[in-house]
Chain A
Amino acid sequence: DAKTTQPPSMDCAEGRAANLPCNHSTISGNEYVYWYRQIHSQGPQYIIHGLKNNETNEMASLIITEDRKSSTLILPHATLRDTAVYYCIVRARYSNSGYALNFGKGTSLLVTP
């Protein structure tokens, strides 16, 4: 199963872009990269996922390098409510077509006023 490496913590000023990096150098060709976040004591919240191309939705953008060995989650205008632990996950396969999530330690993002 592909593993991910993230910095343990990051700070970001409110209103600025938060760029959260993730390394997944052992990712295989058909594995997706997923991002979730978890605000203190709540359930993880799905943010975005991607395979090869860059992706954008109403919450964030995901930039995946051409070799797919790393990615960056971008929160374009961070707010205090974005303070959370952010998990970059390459899914672990459990059957011919089913997947479970293999959470790493994540990045604790602190957005400051």
Chain B
Amino acid sequence: DTEVTQTPKHLVMGMTNKKSLKCEQHMGHRAMYWYKQKAKKPPELMFVYSYEKLSINESVPSRFSPECPNSSLLNLHLHALQPEDSALYLCASSQGEGVIADTQYFGPGTRLTVL
């Protein structure tokens, strides 16, 4: 089973709202990732968690706040977003550091629209 689940599938929010995206995997993976994908562009890495600790933040604005409550769950908290933040947000997981050919598996994504 290589399933990564993401909720919600779609989210529409105003610029003053606070919302959260959720990602879950039950493959025992110890690395989890957030990517952002704008229309007709490739995915871009935002954050990496390794063993529940943030190991990479790709200079993402503070209005995006990741959280890894446990090894199976990854959240992305959203606050005061801008319309240009509208995108497909993808979560991925992998076995993690120390694995030579570490393969990432992606969820279906959350389509976010900021009004």
- Which A residues have a C-beta under 8 Å from some C-beta of B? 32, 34, 36, 41-46, 49, 51, 87, 94-106
Interface size class of B (residues with CB under 8 A): 20 to 34
**Which among A32, A101, A105 has the highest number of chain B CB atoms within 10 Å?**
A101
- Which B residues have a C-beta under 8 Å from some C-beta of A? 2, 4, 6, 31, 33, 42-45, 48, 50, 55-56, 88, 90, 92, 96-99, 101-109, 111
Provide the residues of chain B in CB contact with A36, threshold 8 Å.
106
**How far, in angstroms, from A87 to B4 measured CA to CA in the complex?**
20
Interchain Cβ contacts within 8 Å, total number: 63
Contact check, B102 vs A98: say whether CB atoms are below 8 A apart. Answer: yes
- Chain A residues touching B, majority SS: loop
Provide the residues of chain B in CB contact with A32, threshold 8 Å.
101
Provide the residues of chain B in CB contact with A41, threshold 8 Å.
88, 109, 111
